[in-house]
Structure 1
């Protein structure tokens, strides 16, 4: 107990970092491809891993380094079955193996850094079967560094493996990409991420509310590291309990049910009630820009539900979003939803630039509420088509009241407006006169 109390705290993202492919979440397609390559002994010498932040690029690189250098009592043999630690596994996991070299290209961008790799490639590994070079954020290398790496990358020694990781695959030259086996690591789906977070909370013996996990999964945007960092923060914020209220306060979110109330009020034209709801959420600590972003998100959700009803089955949705969103999708037209999205999207930009975010947010809501009352073009056309046609003659003149103090009739009689005859048809244009013949030379001389 004393050791646990005095040892430094290890964050969840490091404590539960996958150490083999069985614990790597959300990348089944890549694992299957690698498994087939290892079984057939068709292991490429260079790999490039791409994907958004926190999906497991560096983790996958370390697991691959373990798989290349796996060695047990029977000898070295590359394998993806890492359930039993091999001779080199512990040192590779802890990042201290001499034959697994990790380099951050963000801080080592020049040709001189690549020359060190090129020079060291000539020497065989000291203890492991393969010498593995892991270059993170490889897109940050300079053009000269990429060019210096080309020849070595194309024909490396048989004991060398390269693993590149990047979040900007388009910035990597095609000459590098053509020499690597590429794997695109996907965002982790909400279903898998929710189950993953639940398993971690169960292992940590921490109580949680499903709505709180839904908020964290939505904010994490498919990144395992971001989700675990938010979960760590939520545990600390809630004093050991992950509740929806604490997560909402931590992320600065408005109550999802209140956001739906606000959306319904705006689409119904109840601008007074909408402004009151906005002010209440603001007083509770919600950021105006976040509130407008939440309205944008809910507008997008309702639109998706209208087009794809199965979108209501998303596990990251709250019960209110699922039921009330589906009802709004059936009630609102696509034209009204797209118009609401445009107004809210523009309002979000205005709130970000405004000196007073609350005022800008309220003006955006006022525009949306009044735009919700506007009839659609189809309604206008139908309304105009149902109006009676005007009479062919001139309209009757309205009676004018007599000036005060005068006697007689109470209204003046107006004479009908005179009717003018139509203009006569214009005369046909006259033919142009023939040009004058030039004067004889004698006549010109007399004139001169």
Structure 2
């Protein structure tokens, strides 16, 4: 017998063999057992998730001896004919090459004939979205009221291209991407059957690279066997397909959270020199950041295949930042991913994304300033003007700058810029909020004089000279002067 690739040799034969699609399998089983069979089914899902295999299994269950039956014998002659695509009662049609009106008219002529051996005449149309609108319209009446012995099964990866009138006449089943751990487990099963030593880390790397498609994972394993022989390690997977190891992704995320720009850029350079696919690296990076963001809300979530000790250190580093900072970093990388899709120099956009994301982690935002000032004001009001020993602080990751001098600068006229004391500028453009709070006790000791008003009389309009004096009093307020000093601002 000629050699068969793993994707064909290990194709599911029964409902129990279908992996990762329990919701579809359960519904079809119940429909068969309860004799609630529809006349048209539509299977939707990404490539390699089991659309054609599920359609063939359904055809076997309908046309098997003494059927319809859920627990049929896949080795039966009828089932073997359906599996090999040579059954006269199960016609598999390629929608890409038979998408015209003439092909649909021929199909309408053949539906009148009774099945040869089974109970039903089944038409399976793959990539049904490739049919033209005229072909869809020619199929409408037959699809809505087919003969009792006819069943239609459609499969597509792009359901939005199918006419709504067709969709409304079918029972739709959405097949989901298969989880990576399920794919890795099945690859280990295939390796055991074939006598291949497959490392767990290698199986996980293949499963992540397959991106939810079982057929892609089986094809990759087949290629690795041809390359490596009977022993496959993670390094082989990375070298053949250009994937990035989990340790590299964890190291890059760790450097990002530590705001270590040279280390992060060095890791990108190393991966680029090794011929790794940088788009795949960015996708892994975004996935790890997403997992860290969710882990901050639910500690029971998965670790994206990263070792436990490394994952623990990453979660501790991520907890030092508020969730909105991680969200902003993911947004930066999402923009970089969109630019990398069409760019020739992918490394440039990845490096720019890393630099911007590190800056986003270290920057002080206006919301942080408002929170600190609002907290300080609440403390003064709650303590009768005396400062509280507790203070509202920025996230612990913010850089600290030396406190400026406690001396208050001389007040200046409105049109003259306020002199700024010579103090060391905060690093990375951050604002020294702690120093501003430290200055608050001086402000509380010298509160501004209250303005006396008479409630019985409306407040008179101040004369220009008095208004100017009031403005001068406002600008001479110690708190205003201290804020101008700390923010290095001027009044105009």
- Normalised-by-shorter TM-score class: 0.7 to 0.9
Q: 1:344 matched to which residue of 2?
A: 333
Q: Write out aligned runs for 1:42-441 (5 A).
A: 42-71=36-65, 76-83=66-73, 85-312=75-302, 316-319=305-308, 322-381=311-370, 393-394=411-412, 423=464
Q: Secondary structure at the match of 1:165?
A: strand
* Residue deviations 1:209-258 (CA, integer Å, cap 9, x gap): 21222222222222221221222223333333221111122232333223
Match for residue 445 of structure 2? none
Q: Taking structure 1 as reference, are residues 122 and 89 closer, same or farther at Cα in structure 2, changes over 3 Å only?
A: same
Shift of 1:390: 5.8
**1:324-355 Cα deviation digits (max 9, x unpaired):** 33333323321221222122222334444444
| Larger RCO (CA under 8 A, 6+ residues apart) | 1
C-alpha distance in 2, partners of 1:173/1:368? 43
Q: How many angstroms does 1:104 deviate by?
A: 0.9
* Alpha-carbon distance in structure 2 between the residues aligned to 1:291 and 1:47: 38
SS at match of 1:53: coil
Residue 112 of structure 1 and its aligned partner are, at CA, apart by 0.7
1:130 positional shift: 1.8
Aligned counterparts of 2:71 and 2:372: Cα–Cα separation in 1: 72
- Determine the structure 2 residue equivalent to 1:417: none
- Contact 1:257-1:320 at 8 Å conserved across structures: no
- Retained in 2: the 8 A contact 1:54–1:226? yes
Instruction: Give distance in 1, aligned partners of 2:198 and 2:105.
Output: 52
In angstroms, what is the RMSD of aligned CA positions?
3.0
Map 1:19-34 → 2, pairs under 5 A: 19-34=13-28
Question: Contact 2:89–2:122 (CA<8 Å) still a contact in 1?
Answer: yes
* Gap change, CA 1:182 and 1:379, over 3 Å in 2: closer
Instruction: Flag structure 1 segments of 5+ consecutive residues without an equivalent.
Output: 1-6, 399-421, 427-448
Choose 257-266 or 160-169, whichever is displaced more.
257-266
1:275 & 1:142 partners in 2: Cα distance? 50
Deviations 1:41-87 (A, max 9, x none): 2222222212221111111111121112112xxxx432121235334
Distance in structure 1 (CA, Å) of the matches to 2:323 and 2:233: 35
Offset at residue 126 of structure 1 (A):
2.5
Q: Relative to structure 1, is the Cα distance of residues 112 and 329 closer, same or farther in structure 2, using a 3 angstrom cutoff?
A: same
CA contact (8 A) 2:257 2:318 kept: no
How far apart are 1:393 and its partner, in Å? 4.1
Kindly state the Cα deviation for residue 379 of structure 1 after the two structures are TM-superposed.
4.1
TM (normalized to structure 2)? 0.72
1:16 CA displacement: 0.2
Distance 1:362 1:185 in 2: 36
8 Å CA contact 1:54–1:225 kept in 2: the answer is yes
CA distance in 1, matches of 2:59, 2:219: 26
CA contact (8 A) 2:249 2:285 kept: yes
Distance 1:320 1:350, change over 3 A: farther
Distance 1:353 1:32 in 2: 42
Equivalent residue number for residue 17 of structure 1: 11
Following TM superposition, by how much is the alpha carbon of 1:375 offset from its aligned partner in structure 2, in angstroms?
Answer: 2.4
**How far apart, CA to CA, are the structure 1 residues paired with 2:13 and 2:179?**
21
TM-score by length of 1: 0.79
Q: How many residues align?
A: 394
2:92 aligned counterpart, secondary structure: strand
- Return the offset for 1:397: 8.2
Matches of 2:295 and 2:271 in 1, distance apart? 26
Structure showing greater radius of gyration is 1
